[in-house]
Amino acid sequence: GLGFERVGGVLIALLGAAGTLLRAMAWEAGLPAIAVLAATSLLGIVIGHVYYIYSVDPNSVKGRLGDLRYKIQVHALTVIVVSAVFWVWAVLNCVKAHFDLGAITFFIAFVVAFVSLGSELAQRKLFPAACWLVAVNYLLGLLLGLKPWTLPLYFGFGVVWWAAAALLCSFLAREMSKEERQMTLGGTGPYSRLPGR
């Protein structure tokens, strides 16, 4: 019952995102991308939440540490979804129209976000850097002053979204490190069972 409802919800969200993308194709330049950014962000959050629910070990750490792990996973999966969709879009731009630096920066963000799901070093160091790289890419686009006005508007949204993603990476990694250090020092962390403690 409950599992199928969640999977059904994810499928509905996917269909909704695809419908938004198709309807957005007739909009002024930049507006489809803003709509897709919003839709993929929401979809990424839903996928991250569902993934976490189905992948969490019932015996895993609860409380603040568990909450931080949840937020890190949801954040990483949201970045994976957003960067994957925009990477495809950027590659299509390269094939059909002109070179799009997003074909490189979104791919880097996608790979690093994926790796960060299993690596504390990637989460702490590489993930924020990859997000900043995409934000700088959007800033470069914003500085070009392209027309119509909706295109720079989209670039502005992109700068803000990816800068926020970078800041959130850093914040979550720092909080996780503090929490794990506190647990270890308090004798309740994973290292508390080591000999001599």
CA 188 to chain centre: 31
Q: Residue 188 has what pLDDT? A: 53
Q: Residue 197 has what pLDDT? A: 35
Q: What are the pLDDT tens digits along the chain (197 aa)?
A: 445 566 666 667 766 766 665 565 567 888 999 999 999 999 999 999 998 888 776 666 667 788 888 899 999 999 999 999 999 999 999 999 999 999 999 999 999 999 999 888 888 899 999 999 999 999 999 998 888 999 999 999 999 999 999 999 999 999 988 887 777 665 554 433 433 33
Burial class of residue 124, CB neighbours in 10 A (0-12, 13-18, 19+): middle
Instruction: Note if the pTM is more than 0.85.
Output: no
CB 109 within 8 A of CB 133: yes
Place of tokens 């508390």: 192
Q: Residue 167 has what pLDDT? A: 97
Nearest to 13 by CA among 53, 43, 36, 40: 43
d(CA 104, CA 107) in angstroms, rounded, equals 5
Q: Residue 185 has what pLDDT? A: 65
Q: Residue 99 has what pLDDT? A: 94
In 3-state terms, what secondary structure has residue 78? Answer: helix
